[in-house]
Structure 1
Amino acid sequence: MPTATLTSKGQVTIPKKIRDKLNLKPGDKINFDIEAEGDVKMSTSKKSILEAAGKLHRPGQKPLSQEEMDEKLAEYVRDKFKSQ
């Protein structure tokens, strides 16, 4: 089992075996969850773009074309910055 040592500044270096397994790179976010028994579960925040598919869908909402989305965005920007 890989182990790490806590520094006086509260920092820990994640062992290479764990970094490789989770495919962690500098700047990646890591989540820590404390379970009821006191164990800590560590996971990465990395997500595949495919996991985002359908997240903005609203039942009954008509899909918009790229042109319609561009129009709506332009309208929003015009309205937001009209008074400036």
Structure 2
Amino acid sequence: MVRLKVTSKGQVTLKKEVLDHLHVRPGDEIEVDLLPKGKVSVQALPKGRIEDLFGMFRNKTGRSFTLKELDEAAAAGWAGEAES
């Protein structure tokens, strides 16, 4: 258990141990949910923006694949037979 002290302004500084556990760094955001009986839940918010995902699966080979080839690749991956 980690103890934190509340300042006269009502602020709390999270110790390095807590920040490391949440995998947060300066500039990241955390979310605090207020729970019944004076409890809270603290979690790190996902990093990045949805726009960062655009182009993530872009075809870099320039080759087009048929639906049959995609279906076969998916079946092989599901069966554990996919090539690396």
Question: What's the TM-score once normalised by structure 1's chain length?
Answer: 0.51
Ranges of 4+ aligned residues in structure 1 off by more than 2 Å: 46-50
Report the equivalent of 2:72.
none
**Rounded Cα–Cα distance in structure 2 between residues aligned with 1:30 and 1:39:** 16
Aligned residues: 53
Task: Please tell me whether the aligned partners of residues 28 and 47 of structure 2 are also in contact (alpha carbons under 8 angstroms).
Answer: no
Report the equivalent of 1:8.
8
Alignment of 1:15-26 (within 5 A): 15-26=15-26
Q: Which runs of 5+ in 1 are unaligned?
A: 54-84
Q: 1:38 to 1:4 in 2, by over 3 A?
A: same
Question: What's the TM-score once normalised by structure 2's chain length?
Answer: 0.51
Q: Secondary structure at the match of 1:18?
A: helix
**Rounded Cα–Cα distance in structure 2 between residues aligned with 1:25 and 1:47:** 10
Report the equivalent of 1:38.
38
Report the equivalent of 2:62.
none
Aligned residue type for 1:28: D
Alignment RMSD (CA, Å): 2.5
Q: Secondary structure at the match of 1:3?
A: coil
List per-residue Cα deviations over 1:32-78 (Å, max 9, x = no partner).
1011232100111124678x86xxxxxxxxxxxxxxxxxxxxxxxxx
The sequence identity of aligned pairs, in percent, is: 37
